[in-house]
Every structure is written in C-alpha cells, then in structure tokens.
Amino acid sequence: MREFVRREGAEPYNVRDGHGHPVRTLGNRRECQAESDRLAGWFLGLHPTTQRKLTVFVVRCPVKGCLLGRVFRRGDPLAAVRYVWLGVAWARGGTAGILNWAWDGGRGSKEFMVTGCAHGGGNVEFGLLHGMVEALDSPQSTAPQEWLHRYDEPVQRGYARRTLMLPDTHWQTWT
C-alpha cells in the first residue's frame, strides 16, 4: 500500500501569515481531502472488529444517541499518527477529515464537519474533537479528576465512555 508522501513542489511549504498560522491554500485542502478519503476507504475496508479496536471515540446525536461519526487512530511507522474523522451526513452520505493534518498547523483541514441523522443536523467543531483526542490519548500520570476540568464540558462528560454527545448549541432538531 502506498504511504502518503508530501510532494516537494507543493505550495506553500511552512508559509505562515502575520499571526503565525499556516496559510491554507486550495492545493493544501485538496491534498488533505485526498488523504482523508484514502484513509477512510482503508478503515471502512477493515473487519468490524478491527474497526472497533482502532476507534478512539464516537460522536452521538443528543436526541436519541444515533451514531454521527467516529474518530480512529492510524499509526504509521514512517510518519506521524493520524486521527481521522469519519462522519455521517444526512443529505450527503459520509464525511472524512484528518484532525491533525501536519501542514495545517495540526488544526485540521476545516473548522468544523457537518453531520446529521434522522433527528436533526449540526456541526462538530474540530476544537472539540481535538480536546477529546488529547484527553483520551495523552498519557496522564495523575487521576482524571485532577486534570479533566481543563477541557470543555462535553469532553468531561464523555471521557469515561469514550462517547462525545454534541452540545445543544451545535445541534438543530428537525421540526
């Protein structure tokens, strides 16, 4: 299987704006989306038991608990670990996005991902997904009660069960 290698001619390479954020270009977004789609296809081709083992956490609907998406961890010996969002959108089918895209400052390719189910629709912010990944995957030497308070409330509530329920502010119920 071909592993992702950044093209030398890709522009811009480590170019930052006046605030120190990486410059987002159409080429970078297309490259990220192509890699996201490739990783999503790889993950969906695995046996369901293997998929469950690689899943870091799931995102659920606040109304009935429908599965809206999941984040899985893809370790690569030649590159960094990738955290990939696989979501369900009511109108468009599935969505995919790399949460820690290295050439985007680790901020993800987008600010949020659109998701939905039969009960409603909403936006999953990448910041919320990053917080959950950081809380679950970073090794902590102390008890969770001592450090979990630093995260947003949805991350605090979903930490133990590895389930992130979208807050009501990010969700619109169908009427």
1-10 burial, b at 16+ Cβ within 10 Å, e below that, comes to eeeeeeeeee
Report the alpha-carbon distance of residue 43 to residue 71 in Å, rounded: 11
To 10 degrees, the CA torsion angle through 113, 126, 82, 17?
A: 110
In a 3-state reduction of DSSP, which class is residue 64? coil
Per-residue pLDDT of the chain (175 residues; tens, 9 = 90+): 333 344 444 444 455 667 766 666 667 778 778 888 888 888 989 999 999 888 888 988 888 888 888 999 887 666 677 888 888 876 667 888 888 765 555 555 566 777 888 788 888 887 788 888 888 877 777 788 888 888 888 888 888 888 888 777 777 776 5
Q: What is the pTM of this model?
A: 0.73
Give me 76's structure tokens. 């690569």
